Chains A and B, each alone.
Chain A
Amino acid sequence: MLEIKNLHARVDGKDILKGLSLEVKAGEVCAIMGPNGSGKSTLAHILAGREGYEVTSGSVSFEGKDLLALAPEERAREGVFLAFQYPVEVPGVNNVYLLKAAFNAIRKQRGEEELDAMDFLALVKAKMQFMEMDPAFLNRAVNEGFSGGEKKRNEILQMLVLEPKLALLDETDSGLDIDALKVVAKGVNKLRDPKRAIVMVTHYQRLLDHVVPDKVHVLAGGRVVKSGGKELALELEKRGYDWLKDAAA
């Protein structure tokens, strides 16, 4: 589904990704782990199409398409979703409006009819209940005044509503207490599907206790330095990253 080949990228003239290669297949849940500064978040942002990153070489293909040639909204409509590490507050734009606009933009791309307001609301409310969110959130401005945990829950709610083919979670576990973490994990697990890939970018094992990955890739120095099964994450938890940093050097 996602194929990254020899990706090099820089930010503000500084090389961050240095020949990153990675393949994620449909149905896979994988974790991308690594020490701070290894390029994890950069990778997530580049995949979502954020400006300010210069890809100097390499390629990213998503279902055979050149992902890097697409605008952020085109990627979203193709089925790529990034759950932000720091979800953005958008005062004046209410949650349900954004959800509906996003939902319909993606349906339109798939050649499907727009859902009418009542059906859409019913769908969202069911997913909110699943995410243990107060329906009052719907009419609040996007993320405005939300606590860290509420913002993360909101990201997962959007993901559940939009049903992406490729879900990227950027440090979704950071700043969550254990109860919120469990709810978020429940949301992610709900999305597990043979037709869908889930990529979790994370520093810690914590989230992986609740969303067990099929594969774990370790990033260091802008490259994947080790890949393995879920047991690799446990090993990292015990041994830290230093032994792998040396391997990268």
Chain B
Amino acid sequence: MSALAPYLEGYAAYPKPRPWLQALQQQALQRAEARGFPQARDEAWKYTSLATLEQRGFKPASSTVTLDAITLAPLLVTGLDCPRAVFVNGRYAAALSRLPQGVRVVAARDADESLGALLTVPPEWQDDTFLNLNTALFQDALLVEVSGELTEPLEFLHVSAPEAAAASHHPRCTVKLGPNARATLIERYAGLEGAKHFTNSVVQIELASGAKLTHLRLQEESLQGFHLGRVLVSQAADSTYESHNLQHGAAWARLDLAVALKATGAAAELNGLYAVGGRRHLDNHTRVDHLAPHTASRELYRGILDGQGRAVFNGKVVVAPHAAKTDASQANHNLLLSRGAEIDTKPELEIYADDVKCSHGATIGQLDEQQLFYLRSRGLDAETARSLLIGAFAERLLTLLPSLALAAHARRRLGAAVSRINLPEPA
């Protein structure tokens, strides 16, 4: 049976959208079928096996699960009171949401053709199987179009709730910022305990000249869940994209974050923090394309690994032939807390231009024995000293978060992830 069979079956049972979207979805499915799932021999998937995902099937189904505000409450970020678009198992939950102006949710089944432009995929992603599955299978899409300034952050919250059969959900979001527009997007994936789903999300971001988007992405799926994310960013002249990507959840997760700096003055800052334990697996693939002169990117990713946790970091930076005066830096630091943990880190620089400034570095280390001894010699017990040093390692990124409420939330999540880091094998 093809890995795609459950998805095709699921699609067949979906309500039919209007013809224009049906045509787009058919095309996406054909492309997915032609390409299939990535294979282990595919370099980009060498360290992240899709075997379990394939084996589980995860047939998409229109979920009937609804949440009330009381069930949702513990999943919310304390102190973060902002407009919010809540999706439960891929479906929009209007009763739990409050949308600001310029933000709307469109259901696939009755979307008109104006949605088409917002679903257009960059050519280099047109053959990406998971993106194509998302295009065919998303139910409700969040559309954010900002011409001035979103004064408050907007939270795009996807909640996975347990269902009778473990299904896949395909959240979709497009963000378009007009010239000089400003916005903060908080993209968050939370899971209720016991949700054994597969989230396959796609977020497309387009920044016009001078626009600035601050994008916080928190992957906090249930520890039995599977998560695959795509964030595709396209930047015009003098636009700024600031990303904070925190991955702590899911039994198996991968994020592909691709940023195209298409015109002079475009700048991207990519910050990432991941923590993994048990026998869980987290993968961060980032790619920055410098396609114009005088573009800049800075990237800092840190990872904490315990138990038999495994993480992958792959950071690719491509400098196109005419992109002179590119300024790109990348660093990835990993803290290994156990012998069984494993990190595969790979910076990839492809530079086709002269007169550029590019640097990269990756480190893998353990807790510093001298620091541990120093703290213990002051009366702190070994466990406290350890968590203090782990926290300090993470703090470098947490202090960069633009929201204190979110930083506090992330700190608690991380605390939980670290103390619970020796988790049993996902069921």
Is B379's beta carbon under 8 Å from chain A? yes
Q: Are B389 and A90 interface neighbours, CB within 8 A? A: yes
Is B393's beta carbon under 8 Å from chain A? yes
Q: Are B392 and A102 interface neighbours, CB within 8 A? A: no
Q: How far is the CA of A102 from the CA of B388 in the complex (A)?
A: 13
Residues of B within 8 A of A141 (CB): 392
Is A58's beta carbon under 8 Å from chain B? no
- Closest B residue by C-beta to A72: B376
Is B43's beta carbon under 8 Å from chain A? no
Is A158's beta carbon under 8 Å from chain B? yes
Is A84's beta carbon under 8 Å from chain B? yes
- Closest B residue by C-beta to A86: B370
Q: How far is the CA of A87 from the CA of B373 in the complex (A)?
A: 11
Partner of A98, one of B369, B375, B393: B375
Residues of A within 8 A of B396 (CB): 91-92
Q: Are B378 and A71 interface neighbours, CB within 8 A? A: no
Partner of A162, one of B374, B379, B389, B393: B379
Q: How far is the CA of A97 from the CA of B380 in the complex (A)?
A: 11
Known: A51-B369, A88-B370, A101-B384. A76 touches B377 (CB 8 A): yes
Task: Kindly supply a per-residue 1/0 record for chain B positions 313-335, scoring 1 wherever the CB is within 8 Å of any chain A CB and 0 otherwise.
Answer: 00000000000000000000000
Is B112's beta carbon under 8 Å from chain A? no
Number of interface residues of A (CB under 8 A): 31
Taking the closest CB of chain B, its distance from the CB of A141, in whole angstroms, is 8
Is B26's beta carbon under 8 Å from chain A? no
Task: Kindly supply a per-residue 1/0 record for chain A positions 71-92, scoring 1 wherever the CB is within 8 Å of any chain B CB and 0 otherwise.
Answer: 1110111000110100111111
Is B354's beta carbon under 8 Å from chain A? no
Taking the closest CB of chain B, its distance from the CB of A176, in whole angstroms, is 20
Q: Are B373 and A51 interface neighbours, CB within 8 A? A: yes
Q: How far is the CA of A162 from the CA of B379 in the complex (A)?
A: 10
Q: How far is the CA of A114 from the CA of B120 in the complex (A)?
A: 61
- Closest A residue by C-beta to B370: A88
Is B193's beta carbon under 8 Å from chain A? no
Q: Are A76 and B379 interface neighbours, CB within 8 A? A: yes
Residues of A within 8 A of B388 (CB): 93, 97, 101
Residues of B within 8 A of A97 (CB): 388
Partner of B379, one of A51, A73, A87, A91: A73
Is B163's beta carbon under 8 Å from chain A? no
Give the size category of B's interface with A.
20 to 34
Q: Are B377 and A49 interface neighbours, CB within 8 A? A: yes
Taking the closest CB of chain A, its distance from the CB of B56, in whole angstroms, is 39
Residues of B within 8 A of A24 (CB): none
Known: A50-B373, A90-B371, A101-B384. A162 touches B378 (CB 8 A): yes
Residues of B within 8 A of A98 (CB): 375, 378, 380
Q: Are B382 and A91 interface neighbours, CB within 8 A? A: no
Q: Are B374 and A76 interface neighbours, CB within 8 A? A: no
Q: Are B380 and A73 interface neighbours, CB within 8 A? A: yes
Which of A48, A51, A92, A101 is the most central at the interface, judged by chain B CB atoms within 10 Å of its CB? A92
Q: Are A92 and B392 interface neighbours, CB within 8 A? A: yes
Is B152's beta carbon under 8 Å from chain A? no
Q: Are B373 and A91 interface neighbours, CB within 8 A? A: no
Taking the closest CB of chain A, its distance from the CB of B400, in whole angstroms, is 13
Q: Are B375 and A90 interface neighbours, CB within 8 A? A: yes
Q: Are B378 and A102 interface neighbours, CB within 8 A? A: yes
- Closest A residue by C-beta to B398: A92
Q: How far is the CA of A76 from the CA of B385 in the complex (A)?
A: 14
Is A105's beta carbon under 8 Å from chain B? yes
Known: A92-B391, A92-B395. A82 touches B375 (CB 8 A): no
Q: Are B379 and A105 interface neighbours, CB within 8 A? A: yes
Is A138's beta carbon under 8 Å from chain B? no
Q: How far is the CA of A105 from the CA of B380 in the complex (A)?
A: 7
Within 8 A of A (CB), among B363-411: 368-371, 373-382, 384-385, 388-389, 391-393, 395-396
Q: Are A90 and B380 interface neighbours, CB within 8 A? A: no
Task: Kindly supply a per-residue 1/0 record for chain B positions 1-18, scoring 1 wherever the CB is within 8 Å of any chain A CB and 0 otherwise.
Answer: 000000000000000000
Is A106's beta carbon under 8 Å from chain B? yes
Q: Are B393 and A102 interface neighbours, CB within 8 A? A: no
Q: How far is the CA of A77 from the CA of B389 in the complex (A)?
A: 20
Q: How far is the CA of A87 from the CA of B388 in the complex (A)?
A: 18
Task: Kindly supply a per-residue 1/0 record for chain A positions 119-160, scoring 1 wherever the CB is within 8 Å of any chain B CB and 0 otherwise.
Answer: 000000000000000000000011000000000000000100
Taking the closest CB of chain A, its distance from the CB of B384, in whole angstroms, is 7
Which residues of A line the B interface, CB within 8 A? 48-51, 71-73, 75-77, 81-82, 84, 87-93, 97-98, 101-102, 105-106, 109, 141-142, 158, 162
Report the 6 A-B pairs with minimum CB-CB distance, sorted nearest first.
Answer: A92-B392, A76-B379, A105-B379, A88-B374, A102-B378, A72-B376
12 contacts between A and B (CB under 8 A): A49-B373, A49-B377, A50-B377, A72-B373, A76-B379, A82-B377, A84-B377, A87-B374, A88-B373, A92-B392, A101-B379, A162-B379
